[in-house]
């Protein structure tokens, strides 16, 4: 397996310390602090690992998280799971991510036993298929050298997911455009069939490109040193089975930005047009004087 994909799977596979206590490590992918998708995916992995007490197969159908403090890349993260409820059909887990004795993230996740029922969905947008698109070219070295060190590493890295933008945007010289985008993505290597793994992988990937869509009407970008961005919360709903190692379309829009906060929503479709997941996220967006600026809190594409 591709080492980048295997590293991500290892990252999402937590060390079990006690029945309800887990420990995860971090990877420096060029963000100033721990990447929000990493904490989201690890917290979901911790919650999923405590579903053994239900006596039946129950799958995560929704999760809601709040980012409380920036995570330290150099320190492990401890995940404490509260087995809040195991009912007849649903289970609820609450997860607290802790670093240096303080909570940095809260997650509530709900699980449901499989049931048949009425189905409908919105149609997938009409966009080119991923085979008809190409990955964005790498920045020329002379342009890359002008950016802050952390941003250079973010742009120069090749991560475990492949992204192909339907409407690419120049993030170094961002134009003003409507607040929506579509991005095809997939894990770079085929992995096993465990649905729990694919849900954790999607939770990780769902934090890419979401908040960045809120900046489109304003002609700003997280690459600019005076633009500070950070996730405040994140919601994710799983609708249907999917594979994170096959192409998925992330269709994102931003209905509002105000009060130094932006809201973005996303729909995830598989290549056959089935709606497999939905997301929502609000994040902090501050444009500050250059003298006070630092690298972005959490770079968002």
pLDDT digits 0-9 by tens, 27-73:
887 777 899 999 999 999 999 999 987 667 899 999 999 999 999 99
- Measured CA to CA, the distance from residue 219 to residue 39 in angstroms comes to 29
pLDDT tens for each residue of 107-117: 999 999 999 99
So where are the chain's domains?
Answer: 3-113+132-292
pLDDT at 2: 53
Q: Is the pLDDT of residue 104 over 60?
A: yes
Q: How confident is the model at residue 297 (pLDDT cuts 50, 70, 90)?
A: very low
- Measured CA to CA, the distance from residue 36 to residue 231 in angstroms comes to 7
pLDDT tens for each residue of 120-168: 999 999 999 999 998 877 777 777 777 766 666 666 667 899 999 999 9
CATH topology of domain 3-113+132-292: Porin (2.40.160)
pLDDT tens for each residue of 233-265: 999 999 999 999 999 999 999 999 999 999 999
Catalytic sites, residue numbers: 207, 231, 281
3-state secondary structure the chain: CCHHHHHHHHHHCCEEEECCEEEECCCCCCCCCCCHHHHHHHHHHHHHCCHHHCCCCEEEEEEEEEECCCCCCCCCEEEEEEEEEECCCEEEEEEEEEECCEEEEEEEEEEEECCCCCCCCCCCCCCCCHHHCCCCCCCCHHHHCCCCHHHHHHHHCCCCEEEEECCCCCCCCCCCCCCEEEEEEEECCCCCCCHHHHHHHHHHHCCCCCHHHHHHHHCCCCCCCCEEEEEEEEEEEECCCCCCCCCEEEEEEEEEEECCEEEEEEEEEECCCCEEEEEEEEEEEEECCHHHCCCCCCCCC
Strand partners, 249: 184, 269
Whole-structure pTM over 0.85, yes or no?
Answer: yes
Nearest alpha-carbon partner for 29 in 118, 159, 165, 149: 159
């Amino acid at each position: 397996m591709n080492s980048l994909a295997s590293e991500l799977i290892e990252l999402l596979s937590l060390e079990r310390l006690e029945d309800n206590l887990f420990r995860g490590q971090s990877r420096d992918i060029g963000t100033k602090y721990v990447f929000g998708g990493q904490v989201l995916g690890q917290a979901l992995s911790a919650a999923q690992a405590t579903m053994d007490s239900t006596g039946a197969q129950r799958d995560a159908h929704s999760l809601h998280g709040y980012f409380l403090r920036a995570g330290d890349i150099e320190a492990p993260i401890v995940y404490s799971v509260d087995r809040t409820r195991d009912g007849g059909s649903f289970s609820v887990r609450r997860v607290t991510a802790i670093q240096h004795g303080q909570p940095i993230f809260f997650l509530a996740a709900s699980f449901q036993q499989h049931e048949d029922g009425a189905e409908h969905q919105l149609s997938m947008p009409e966009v080119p298929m991923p085979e008809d698109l190409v990955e964005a070219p790498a920045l020329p070295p002379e342009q890359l050298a002008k950016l802050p060190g952390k941003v250079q590493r973010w742009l120069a890295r090749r991560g475990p997911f492949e992204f192909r933008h339907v409407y690419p945007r120049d993030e170094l010289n961002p134009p003003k455009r409507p607040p929506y985008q579509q991005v095809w993505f997939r894990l770079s290597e085929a992995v096993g069939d465990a649905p729990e793994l694919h849900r954790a992988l999607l939770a990780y990937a769902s934090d890419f490109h979401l908040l960045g869509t809120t900046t489109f009407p304003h002609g700003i970008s997280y690459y600019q040193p005076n633009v500070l961005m950070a996730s405040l919360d994140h919601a994710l709903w799983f609708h249907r089975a999917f594979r994170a190692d096959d192409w998925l379309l992330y269709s994102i829009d931003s209905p509002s930005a105000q009060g130094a906060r932006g809201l973005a929503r996303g729909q995830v479709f598989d290549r056959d047009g089935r709606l497999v997941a939905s997301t929502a996220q609000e994040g902090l967006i501050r444009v500050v004087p250059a003298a006070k600026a630092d690298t972005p809190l959490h770079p968002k594409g």
